[in-house]
Amino acid sequence: MRFGLRHITAFVAMMFGLAAACQMPKSPGELAWAIRYDPKTFDPAKVDEQASEEVRFLTGGVLIRLNRKTQQPEPELAASWTVAPDGRMISFRLRSGLRFSDGSPLTSKDVVWSLRRVLDPATAAPVADEFLTAQEVKVEAPDALTIKVHLPKRVIGIENVFDEIAIEPAERPSEGKVTSGPFTVVDYKRGQYVRLGRNANYWRRDTAGAKLPYLTGIRLDVLNNREREISSFQRGEYDLIDGLPPDYFGLLQKKNPSAVLDLGASLNTEEMWFNQASSAPLPDYEKAWFQNRAFRVAVSQAIHRADLARIAYAGHATPAYDFVSPANRVWHNDGLRFPHEDVAAAAQLLAGAGFHRNESLLVDAGGHVVKFSILTNAGNAARMKIATLIQQDLAAIGMQVTVVALDFPALIERLMHKQDYEACLLGLSNVEPDPNTQMNVWLSSSPNHQWNPSEKTPATPWEAQIDKLMQEQGTTLLQKNRKLAFDQVQQIVADQQPFIYLVYPNTLYALSPSLVGVQPSVFQPGLIWNIANVRRQGTK
């Protein structure tokens, strides 16, 4: 066998020819960005995770859209609506001349059919739960442009629920292919991309009368690799990154300062909590530690949150003491009293609770060395740094901490099914600001009541108090009274520290400077909530 120059060049060319992964070229009117994983469904009624929610947001036409900047509901397919004084009837008035993307007219018949489908228990639509008693809700259409929805039970903030119900052609659900929103699903290759095309029959026009959306299409690449996403963004292949990790923020900022945005604290929190379940497979003395308020408050006071924000998030986070972020202006308790960082006070609290120091170790009244593990999920670099920093902070008050990072399913099994853990460090993602969406976290009977799930009766008086206050804010009519009740819940949590809140990660976005019309917001989906008004500079 002779290897001539011909063979060698062919060899090299083939090697490099198989180089970059196949990425489809983009047309100028098209936008592209990455989603972490495939949408599990394209049926708007069955959406139950983030990727399919994003596709539904871009394609589904809704009656009412929440303006993420002003936090007020705005008319979308419904030109106007009225809510009865007792909150048990909503009447919508549709715009005239509405059409679906395939040209067929959109009337109240389609709205009624879509609503009934969502409310039908056979569909098992997650959004139906927000109606509280979905089977008893009645929908009727007196004429082609009016829809009346009768609710057996008043639902606070019912308008926001209609932001999540897509109107589809009656009797013809198409899984996103025929829609009344700005885009339609044109192509889907599993594991690769979802392609959306412009809906030429979208109702909205801009101030000059031109038809919206400006964009001709959107491509959502299924990509779970940060490095590739960042390098594709730098090459201009992706136009935006939602949820930019803090260490890449610095990297992109150096190259192109106008392409990155830090909007300040997001609604999300990073927190740590101890296992207070009495059925947990832990020794009794450990349960006694975790159920002791002084222990929890001491841990909270020993952690240097400013360091966590500065080091683990490269400064792109805000120290947190409350589960409601200051970005949630409506519901944040501005007058909250919380335990400040004070290592000496923490040591005093522990001494008062019967713990004493034995050289560098902390020992409880029964002679047991205070040693516990913090469980967290693998794959989150910032969280691992937080765990390492907390390890040192707690060593200063004598506590020995081991950090265990598990993969998500194993973590959830320990947390929610077996309660086989001592402390856990995780983040909570809050998409909606309204307290009603957090009922499941604070009601003691709920399986998501993380520190002591599914309690038959509240284990402590303060948990009973929280139950009462949360029910109160869920049923009171006056916003003022709701805020009062919810402020009290925040105060109880700050006093008792069942969750030890650490930081609010900042909202970090990367946005191509060539885009016009984007109004970034901390509320999801922060960059694309007004996608119909977004266009690239130089195109029309």
Partner 1 sequence: MKTAAQICWRLGRTLVLLALVAVGTILLMRFAPGYFSDSREMDAKYAQREQTELHQEEATSGTFAQLAKSTFGGWLHGDLGSSRQYGVPVTELVGPRLHVTVMLLLRGLVFGWALAVCTAFPVSLWRNGQTLAGMPFTLLLAIPTGAMATLCLLADMGGPVLVLSLLLAARDFKFLQRVFQSAWTAPHLLQARAQGMRFHRLAVAHLLPNVVPHILGLATLSIVTALSAIVPIEVIFNVPGLGQLAWSAAMNRDLPVLLTITLLMAAAVSCAGMIAPRERMVQTA
Partner 2 sequence: MKRRVSVVVLALMVAAACVIVRLPGASYSAQNREAIMLGATTHYWAGTDDVGRDRGVRVAAAVLLGLGGAAAAAAVTTAIAAGIGTLAGFSTPGLASALMLASDLFLSLPWLFLLMMVRSFLPLTTSPLHSAVVTFTILAALGWPACARAVYRGTLNLRSSEWMIQGRASGLRQTQLMRRHVLPHLLPLLIPQFLICVPAFIVAEANLGTLGLGVAPPLPSWGAMLLELDNSASLATSHWVYLPVVVLVLVLLLLESLTVEV
Residues in contact with partner 2 by the rule CB under 8 A:
227, 230-231, 247-248, 250-251, 304, 307, 310-311, 371-373, 375, 378-379, 381, 384-385, 387-389, 391-392, 402-407, 410, 421-422
CA separation for the pair 134, 56 (Å, rounded): 21
Site string for partner 1, 230-259 (x = CB under 8 A): -x----------------------------
CB of 499: closest distance to partner 2 in angstroms? 20
Cβ neighbours for 259, distance < 8 A, ≥ 6 positions apart: 233, 252, 510, 511, 512, 513
123 binds partner 1 (CB under 8 A): no
Which has the closest alpha carbon to 110: 200, 179, 171, 185? 171
122 binds partner 1 (CB under 8 A): no
Q: Which of 279, 358, 440, 537 binds partner 1 (CB under 8 A)?
A: 440
Tokens of 246: 């803090």
478 binds partner 1 (CB under 8 A): no
* Smaller CB separation from partner 1, 318 or 450: 450
- Secondary structure (3-state) at 89: strand
Displacement of CA 327 from its chain's centroid (Å): 14
135 binds partner 1 (CB under 8 A): no
- 403 touches, from partner 1, partner 2, none (C-beta below 5 to 8 Å by class): partner 2
10 binds partner 1 (CB under 8 A): no
Are the C-beta atoms of 176 and 42 separated by less than 8 Å? yes
* Smaller CB separation from partner 2, 78 or 424: 424
534 binds partner 1 (CB under 8 A): no
Q: Which of 6, 190, 255, 480 binds partner 1 (CB under 8 A)?
A: 190
- 388 touches, from partner 2, partner 1, none (C-beta below 5 to 8 Å by class): partner 2
Long-range contacts of 21-28 (CB under 8 A, 24+ apart): 21/228, 23/221, 23/232, 23/237, 24/193, 24/219, 26/219, 26/237, 27/216, 27/217, 28/536, 28/538, 28/539
Radius of gyration of the chain measured on its C-alpha atoms: 26
Q: Which of 84, 381, 410, 516 binds partner 1 (CB under 8 A)?
A: 410
408 binds partner 1 (CB under 8 A): yes
Residue where the block lists tokens 């830090």: 262
Q: DSSP code of 341? A: P
Residues recorded for the chain: 540
Alpha helices, DSSP H, located in 353-444: 381-395, 408-412, 439-442
CB of 397: closest distance to partner 2 in angstroms? 16
* Smaller CB separation from partner 1, 301 or 490: 490
Are the C-beta atoms of 482 and 250 separated by less than 8 Å? no
- Inter-CA distances, 226 with 200, 201, 222, 242, 317, Å: 34, 36, 12, 11, 20
CB of 362: closest distance to partner 2 in angstroms? 15
* Smaller CB separation from partner 1, 12 or 369: 12
Q: Applying CB under 8 A, which residues contact partner 1?
A: 3, 11, 14-16, 18-21, 37-38, 40, 48-49, 124, 126, 129, 189-192, 223-225, 227-228, 231, 407-417, 426, 429, 437-441, 446-448
